[in-house]
Amino acid sequence: MKIITPETILSPTEQLSGMSIAFDTHIRAIGQLHELLEQFPEAEFIETPLHSMVMPGLINPHVHLEFSGNKSTLKYGSFMEWLYSIIENREELIGNCNEQCMAKACDEMLKNGITTFGAVSSYAMDLEVAANAKQKVIFFNEVIGSQATMADTLYDDFMSRLEASQSVQREGFQAAIAIHSPYSVHPALIKRALTHATKHNLVTSAHYMESPAEKEWLETNNGAFQPFFKEFLKQEYSVNTSKEFLELFIGKPTLMTHVVQANDEELQEIAKEGHSVIHCPISNRLLGNGAIDLDKLDKNGVSWVMGTDGLSSNYALDLLEEMKIALFTHTDRDLLPLAKELLSNATINSAKVLGMNTGEIAVGREADLLVIDLEDTPSEQLPVHLLLHGYNIQHIYINGNEVT
């Protein structure tokens, strides 16, 4: 058992002072120090800086590790330019990012306070790295392929990768399923994968309505995607409309990533089926996809959480930085309430949509904790200051064990 007495507890936005936390693998008690010492007389006492804060570990539900070697290889500014640069440099990107490269990306996330992440894996090259990561991992095996003639082969490959991830035996690691997108996965593949996910109670994720090009292709079979599909896949039509894609997910709540281009009808369907949106503002900006309308999400009752996407469309795997960018992106929102919402969506709300028992400082929750040196006594605007300044993370605990 350990006891820690920070100046401030932030859980995830409520500020408490003068309280101590007793924890082992889980948070066992929160109260006055003398009460906890009486209850747990053998507990180890953790020293903290003068102006310390304890908050929940951050949860990044959407990251691609396999292209983590990118820094200046890919083109930014528009989704199609970026996509063509991915195809042009694919072998180089894959070849330049070995397990050491991907492990470095995991370590970067940990350094930035991310104690849980969702790894979206296209090829399973990141499986061993994710299995050995210090964080908790939801490993999303991705289904991709829009050609009906290849459906059986692609499904067999997907199942082989899924079964390999399910064979990983370590606490905090779980296999999951990702459907790449409406334009890139044949409905027959989607149905089979979702049936398997429902039967085995696996978490599911998908990219949806990310770019203007995707929206136009799904709605009209025209636009910037038309020459792409004609050239590379000999396809004249999208394999799904946006409506048909969402209908495939009826009864299976799913994390829908990006959703920048969705209309009210699509958002209402997302809310009705209990899906959640993963908001990745830096990726959206770098790929020229625009900014998601948070008011539209709220109006239609859509829940949303925060993610970083991967280093193919971001410059860092840092949720605090991602939230800071969101703070400046959504200028129509009051600053402090938005900062609080962002922090909740990077902790407790992400835990809820992933089905995890973490994300807040509360009795019974798994002890995934960050100890941060605030350098000064915090004010009521602590959530804003935390996003603006980052501050130094002194200690990181996952299931009560300190990790570095």
pLDDT for 95 equals: 84
What residues contact residue 354 under an 8 Å CB cut-off, 6+ apart? 59, 61, 116, 118, 138, 203, 255
CA-to-CA dists, residue 3 to 32, 115, 402, angstroms:
11, 20, 13
pLDDT at 128 over 90: yes
CB 288 within 8 A of CB 77: yes
- Give the pairing of strands 255-258 and 204-208: parallel
For 159-163, what is the mean pLDDT?
98
For 315-340, what is the mean pLDDT?
98
**What is the DSSP track for 74-132?**
S--SSHHHHHHHHHHHHHHHHHH--HHHHHHHHHHHHHTTEEEEEEEESSSTTHHHHHH
List the chain domain ranges: 2-56+360-403, 58-354
| pLDDT tens digits for range 260-304 | 999 999 999 999 999 999 999 999 999 999 999 999 999 999 999
pLDDT at 96 over 90: no
Mean pLDDT (the chain, rounded) = 97
Please report how the helices 319-329 and 335-345 are oriented relative to each other, as an axis angle in degrees rounded to 10. 150
**H or E segment to which residue 233 belongs:** helix 225-233
Q: What is the CATH number of domain 58-354?
A: 3.20.20.140
Closest CA to 30 of 361, 379, 389, 367: 361
Q: How far apart are the first and last CA of the chain?
A: 19
List the strands of the sheet with 20-23, edge to edge.
27-31, 20-23, 2-4, 44-46
For 133-146, what is the mean pLDDT?
97
Query: Residue 195 gets which letter from DSSP?
Result: H
pLDDT for 94 equals: 85
Quote the CA–CA distance of 229 and 30 in Å, as a whole number. Answer: 57
Please list the active-site residues: 210
CB 24 within 8 A of CB 1: yes
For 10-25, what is the mean pLDDT?
96
pLDDT at 102 over 90: yes
- For the chain, what percent of residues have pLDDT higher than 90? 96
**Token representation of residue 203:** 């978490």
CB 330 within 8 A of CB 123: no
- For the chain, what percent of residues have pLDDT higher than 70? 100
For 307-325, what is the mean pLDDT?
98
The CATH number fitting domain 2-56+360-403, selected from 1.10.1740.10, 3.10.129.10, 2.30.40.10, 3.50.50.60: 2.30.40.10
pLDDT at 41 over 90: yes
Quote the CA–CA distance of 14 and 74 in Å, as a whole number. Answer: 41
CB 149 within 8 A of CB 188: no
